[in-house]
Amino acid sequence: MFTLYKTYRPFVGPFDPCPPIRVKSFSTPPNLYIGFQPNNFPQFTPMEALRAGTLWKPLYDPYYNSRELAKGGNPL
């Protein structure tokens, strides 16, 4: 399944001084998955583009911080 949010499990050593974070996550930008800009790329209206921060709909990537995810907001 395609997702812009990736997770990984870092190495946890037996002698780490702090409690480990067992699963770490990060966001990848959509432009990594678009090799070139095709013709007739879908666009936002000018007002929507100002709110989204990009003119092209496939390049829109909402940001969710860790507090929003902890409250139950699921970006996927």
pLDDT (tens digit, 9 = 90+) per residue, 26-73? 888 888 888 888 888 899 999 999 988 889 988 888 776 666 665 655
Q: What is the pLDDT of residue 76?
A: 43
Distance CA 11, CA 24 (A): 11
pTM score:
0.58
Q: Where are the alpha helices (H) located in the chain, listed in sequence order?
A: 46-52, 66-70
pLDDT of residue 10 exceeding 80: yes
10 Å CB burial of residue 57 (0-12, 13-18, 19+) is middle
Q: What is the pLDDT of residue 28?
A: 86
